[in-house]
Amino acid sequence: MCGFRLVQIVGRSCIIQNVRAYQKMSCDTINPHVVKLQYAVRGPIVLRALELEKEISQGSKKRFDKIIRCNIGDCHASGQRPISFIREVLCATTNTQIMDTNLVQDDAKLRARRFLDSCGGSVGVYSQSTGVEVVREDVAQYIEQRDQLSANPQNIFLSNGASEAVKSILQLISTGEDGSRRSGVMVPIPQYPLYSATNAEYNAYQIDYYLDESNGWDLSIEQLEEALNKCKDKCIPRALVVINPGNPTGQLLSKDTITSVLKFAYKHNLVVLADEVYQHNIYAPDTGFTSFKRALHDIRGRISTELQLASFMSCSKGYMGECGLRGGYCELVNFPEDVQQQLYKSLSARLCSSLLGQLTMDVVVNPPKPHEPSYNSFMEEKSSVLEELKQKAELTTKSLNSLQGFSCNPITGAMYAFPRIDLPKKAIEIAKSKGMQPDFMYCLELLEEYGVCVVPGSGFGQVPGTWHFRT
Amino acid sequence: MCGFRLVQIVGRSCIIQNVRAYQKMSCDTINPHVVKLQYAVRGPIVLRALELEKEISQGSKKRFDKIIRCNIGDCHASGQRPISFIREVLCATTNTQIMDTNLVQDDAKLRARRFLDSCGGSVGVYSQSTGVEVVREDVAQYIEQRDQLSANPQNIFLSNGASEAVKSILQLISTGEDGSRRSGVMVPIPQYPLYSATNAEYNAYQIDYYLDESNGWDLSIEQLEEALNKCKDKCIPRALVVINPGNPTGQLLSKDTITSVLKFAYKHNLVVLADEVYQHNIYAPDTGFTSFKRALHDIRGRISTELQLASFMSCSKGYMGECGLRGGYCELVNFPEDVQQQLYKSLSARLCSSLLGQLTMDVVVNPPKPHEPSYNSFMEEKSSVLEELKQKAELTTKSLNSLQGFSCNPITGAMYAFPRIDLPKKAIEIAKSKGMQPDFMYCLELLEEYGVCVVPGSGFGQVPGTWHFRT
């Protein structure tokens, strides 16, 4: 914006001075991928909930006293109590004077001491970019016990929650060009919007595949093939994201399904991103959690030593729910050495993830053992949280299905329900006349009228013409 | 890679089966910007130091017992003790049972309680994407007291160290295209390599400007103009990075210099990124720290209400040195509302920064007050650390300048020296014959022979034909 300003009128002639205005950034001049990025879990409904909370705290009268936040898997915010053992270790590590008291158990002190010894005596140091070595060793042991397969600490890196690890892998495979060279990333619909947000951020082409609501949100290979076929000319498909147990859909995949998914990925040269952060949240009576790594190994043959797999875990979910501490890890399977080095190099510019997040992850993968003093209380607290989540899952499904116009698949894993709502034709028309998605309008009214904050299905994706919300 | 495999020979005819090999990722197929990214502070010299440490721990005999790590501003790793008050607040917040004991002072409990009240009672919750509200309020108050200017918590966001905030701003302004639409970012040489790494990551065009070693690493406007002119046809210049006090150069900018820099940025439509993380590390006898915000305000006129400025602060440096806790903040000045919303939206996909990092930042900006019980001990610990750093700065400069072939500017701020080394012609020839940069070879020999780990100047940038290292 160059302009001219009339500065002085002398007789009949004007003295005009060239005035160059400072050009501020605008949404047209900043990174277009940032503008495109959407993240519904923190979208307009949640911002409105924040406003309402402020209004209530300032004395404004509503039909409710407080907002019930069902928008996000934020366990402690929903009243879940932290696991004492985790907090004992954290407090002894941050303030070593606690070690000289009886305020924390000996096994908590032991973990605090071991962690401090491995990082030079203070949580105030930078760790290696991939994380403190003993934590990566403990993660490897945890995976070995879970899968009965060897795991190498060199193939594990620690991150600020699982989100940071997911982003770093998606960044690694995004080639960011338009047209035929652009990377394609297959993402389930409905999905956790971190994936769509990150694909927008790194300009990857998102290939949506639908989960089958009529079949307990199952994942069908036909659907994967169909989705892939549709967009082969728009990108180079490079990765396949699977969330197991599902978010927002709450389903647990069977080992057979996982095996088929892995074979599909192998056939099409895809890297598999297995979001397994809900691996402790299993409510199905007879089925346990099978990791993608275990299923891959059991296929045997070249696929098991070739297919590239990244598995993500977090300390924000499960029985611990320590979202705010930002602990997570990623295990890389069959990644070429040089690519892995490139990834680790890219992590180094952020120096390291939070050391207390790393420590929390350490306690999760190395909990008290049967002979240790905290074992009984730890197991009691853990079971109690998981039992409560299971009851909530059953109650939620039952209540939703008893309501007219609602239908909800059984929740066999994770922490969410994603019920379908049959909206009357008239409601859909009103929403459209207001320029809103019908499920968005429904969620907004639920918030304004009852103070309940849930996220509309459109933020996660849904079959066109169907409406849902996540709670 | 499609191939054919001979599977069976039947008589004279061959049955050939189509075998498609799985295509693994390679450095040729992953994100080229990740491949380009370099981060010297964690580069090959540091990796070699890690190897040497491992060899020593496994009993291998060297001329030294341990590696002296001078590669990174990692205060606690260099023996600096954490500030007790920070650790008291952290431990009371993670384990609220501590509140019922006399292990921590009442003012530490007060801060722990206030923080917990503002985030629902547990550090295990997600905060708002921009950070816990009371912390942003405390940061605003800190800035108000520092600058005697108002500050708005809405314009402040909290981050995992300052690095994450820097990356988010550079990402925001990077338009990522090649050719004439690509964003240009002006970066001082020598620089902290986070900037070059992030510019590579987001495909911004880096415009190097040299600091004047012969004039105490001062920043000259002529040099800025010259650097900008050289590359106007290669990019759209969008941002100017200034590090004050300097890293790796250890100089403190005068208010006059800052004023000229701001005017230069205004003239050329640049956003200013002021890396002010060393604002507590000032060793110049008569000069105090002037923030970019304060200097901008004092210019008055349109520039003060228009020029866009982002200022970064961290709890990893200063007297606290809590690198591992990953606390930081960024204040935005004159950012358009809609652009700020885009930035905050992009932060939301990573949910929030570490709550204990946020809490540490809170204690740094809201330290004990004179009437509070921890005040005296806090001030003693703080002064003692800063005094020790000052002495180290003087001793380092003096020792380096007393050595033949070394010259080092006075360190007036930050935590580093960036001495120049005159390498003999023969050494330069040997380095070249080995395919190494001469300063890289020097640093590698310093490590192999004496166990001292410093970073070669080539990682930070230097005038061609001059050689340095950062310590």
One DSSP character per residue, A40-90 reads GGGSHHHHHHHHHHHHHHTT---SSSS-EE-SS--TGGGTPPPPHHHHHHH
**Mean pLDDT across chain B:** 89
Q: Which residues of B touch A20 (CB under 8 A)?
A: 267
| Closest Cβ–Cβ partner in B171, B321, B339 for A124 | B321
Which A residues, 170 through 209, put their C-beta within 8 Å of a C-beta on chain B? 171-176, 193-194, 197-198, 201-203
Per the CB < 8 A criterion, the answer to whether B204 and B237 are in contact is no
Euclidean distance between CA atoms B71 and B47, whole angstroms: 11
Q: Which of A208, A274, A209, A287 is nearest to A246 (CA)?
A: A274
- Mutation test of the interface with chain B: which of A125, A168, A187, A377, choosing the one with the most B Cβ atoms within 10 A? A125
Whether B298 has a pLDDT exceeding 90, the answer reads yes
Per the CB < 8 A criterion, the answer to whether B163 and A351 are in contact is yes
Euclidean distance between CA atoms A399 and A453, whole angstroms: 17
Per the DSSP assignment, residues forming a β-bridge with B271 are: B239
Per the CB < 8 A criterion, the answer to whether B203 and A351 are in contact is no
Per the CB < 8 A criterion, the answer to whether B67 and B52 are in contact is yes
Cα distances from B435 to residues B251, B393, B438, B453, in angstroms, run 32, 34, 9, 21
CB contact under 8 A, A125 and B87: no
Per the CB < 8 A criterion, the answer to whether A390 and A283 are in contact is yes
Cα distances from A310 to residues A148, A167, A292, A335, in angstroms, run 18, 12, 9, 9
Q: Is B447 on the interface with A (CB under 8 A)?
A: no
Whether B17 has a pLDDT exceeding 50, the answer reads no
* pTM as predicted: 0.90
List chain A pLDDT tens, one digit each, 471 residues: 334 444 444 444 444 444 568 888 888 888 888 888 877 666 788 888 888 988 888 888 888 888 888 877 788 888 889 999 999 999 999 999 999 999 999 999 999 999 999 988 899 988 889 999 999 999 999 999 999 999 999 999 999 999 999 999 999 998 877 666 789 999 999 988 899 999 988 989 999 999 999 998 999 999 999 999 999 888 999 999 999 998 888 889 999 999 999 999 999 999 999 999 999 988 877 778 999 999 999 999 999 999 999 999 999 998 999 999 999 999 999 999 999 999 998 898 888 999 999 999 999 999 999 999 999 999 999 999 999 988 988 888 899 899 888 899 988 888 888 999 999 999 999 999 998 999 999 999 999 999 998 889 988 889 988 999 888
CB contact under 8 A, B90 and A94: yes
Q: Is B5 on the interface with A (CB under 8 A)?
A: no
pLDDT of residue B138: 97
Cα distances from B127 to residues A62, A208, A471, B115, B118, in angstroms, run 24, 30, 19, 11, 9
pLDDT band at residue B259 under the 50/70/90 scheme: very high
Query: Beta B183-189 vs B156-159: how paired, if at all?
Result: unpaired
Output the CA angle A153-A158-A162, nearest 5 degrees.
125
Q: Which residues of B touch A356 (CB under 8 A)?
A: 94, 324-325, 354, 356
pLDDT of residue B20: 64
Identify how many contiguous H helices and E strands chain A contains and give both numbers.
Answer: 16, 15
Euclidean distance between CA atoms B444 and B46, whole angstroms: 10
Euclidean distance between CA atoms B296 and B270, whole angstroms: 14
CB contact under 8 A, A349 and B197: yes
Q: Which residues of B touch A307 (CB under 8 A)?
A: 22
Euclidean distance between CA atoms A378 and A381, whole angstroms: 5
pLDDT of residue A7: 42
Cα distances from A274 to residues A165, A211, A277, in angstroms, run 12, 16, 9
Q: What are the structure tokens assigned to B399, written together?
A: 């020792």
Euclidean distance between CA atoms B16 and B305, whole angstroms: 74
Which A residues, 229 through 248, put their C-beta within 8 Å of a C-beta on chain B? 238
Per the CB < 8 A criterion, the answer to whether A193 and A73 are in contact is no
Whether B450 has a pLDDT exceeding 50, the answer reads yes
The percent of residues above 90 in pLDDT, for chain B, comes to 58
Beta-carbon contacts of B150 under 8 Å, excluding residues fewer than 6 positions away, are: B144
pLDDT band at residue B63 under the 50/70/90 scheme: confident
pLDDT band at residue B224 under the 50/70/90 scheme: very high
Euclidean distance between CA atoms B190 and B418, whole angstroms: 9
Euclidean distance between CA atoms A143 and A332, whole angstroms: 12
Query: A469 in helix, strand or coil?
Result: strand
Beta-carbon contacts of B425 under 8 Å, excluding residues fewer than 6 positions away, are: none
pLDDT of residue A10: 45
CB contact under 8 A, A167 and B25: no
By C-alpha distance, the chain B residue nearest A327 is B354
DSSP A188: E
Cα distances from B273 to residues A175, B37, B404, B421, in angstroms, run 28, 20, 38, 30
CB contact under 8 A, B31 and A202: yes
Q: How many CB pairs under 8 A join A and B?
A: 296
| Closest Cβ–Cβ partner in A34, A121, A161 for B342 | A34
Higher-pLDDT residue of B43, A264? A264
Whether B113 has a pLDDT exceeding 60, the answer reads yes
B245: closest CA of chain A, how far (Å): 20
Would you put residue A68 in left (φ > 0), alpha (ψ -120 to 50) or beta?
beta
Q: Which of B108, B63, B53, B106 is nearest to B362 (CA)?
A: B108
What DSSP string runs through A115-141? HHHHTTT-TTS---TT--HHHHHHHHH
Euclidean distance between CA atoms B402 and B419, whole angstroms: 12
Beta-carbon contacts of A328 under 8 Å, excluding residues fewer than 6 positions away, are: A158, A159, A160, A161, A162, A163, A164, A165, A277, A312, A313, A314, A315, A316, A353, A357, A361
Whether B425 has a pLDDT exceeding 60, the answer reads yes
Euclidean distance between CA atoms B46 and B69, whole angstroms: 9
- Mutation test of the interface with chain A: which of B45, B159, B350, B358, choosing the one with the most A Cβ atoms within 10 A? B350
Q: Is B124 on the interface with A (CB under 8 A)?
A: yes
A87: closest CA of chain B, how far (Å): 5
Euclidean distance between CA atoms A243 and A163, whole angstroms: 13
| Closest Cβ–Cβ partner in A95, A125, A323 for B74 | A125
Output the CA angle A231-A232-A233, nearest 5 degrees.
90
Three state DSSP letters for B153-174: HHHEEEECHHHHHHHHHHHHHC
Strand order in the sheet with B420-421: B406-407, B420-421, B467-470, B455-456
Cis peptide before A82 (omega within 30 of 0): no
Task: Catalogue the E-assigned strands of A176-324.
Answer: 183-189, 205-210, 236-243, 271-275, 309-314
Within 10 A of B177 (CB to CB), how many other CB atoms are there? 14
Query: Beta B452-453 vs B68-69: how paired, if at all?
Result: parallel
CB contact under 8 A, A176 and B33: yes
Q: What is the mean pLDDT of residues B370-396?
A: 93
Question: In this structure, what are the phi and psi dihedrals at residue B71, rounded to the nearest 5 degrees?
Answer: -90, -20
Which A residues, 298 through 357, put their C-beta within 8 Å of a C-beta on chain B? 302-303, 306-308, 320-326, 334-336, 338-339, 342-343, 345-346, 348-357
pLDDT band at residue B179 under the 50/70/90 scheme: low
Q: Which residues of A touch B46 (CB under 8 A)?
A: none
Per the CB < 8 A criterion, the answer to whether A275 and A242 are in contact is yes
Per the CB < 8 A criterion, the answer to whether A343 and B34 are in contact is yes
Per the DSSP assignment, residues forming a β-bridge with A456 are: A469
Amino acid (1-letter code) at residue A71: N
Beta-carbon contacts of B207 under 8 Å, excluding residues fewer than 6 positions away, are: B184, B185, B186, B187, B227, B228, B230, B231, B235, B237
B164: closest CA of chain A, how far (Å): 7
pLDDT of residue B248: 87
pLDDT of residue A119: 87
Q: Which helix (H) or strand (E) holds B324?
A: none
Euclidean distance between CA atoms B330 and B277, whole angstroms: 10
Q: What are the structure tokens assigned to B215, written together?
A: 């004039």
Q: Which residues of A touch B74 (CB under 8 A)?
A: 125-126
Q: Which of B291, B325, B327 is nearest to B311 (CA)?
A: B291
DSSP B369: P
Per the DSSP assignment, residues forming a β-bridge with B69 are: B453
Per the CB < 8 A criterion, the answer to whether B161 and B431 are in contact is no
Per the CB < 8 A criterion, the answer to whether A236 and A185 are in contact is no
B428: closest CA of chain A, how far (Å): 28
Residue B386 burial by Cβ neighbours in a 10 Å radius (0-12, 13-18, 19+): middle
Q: Which of B258, B371, B41 is nearest to A352 (CA)?
A: B41
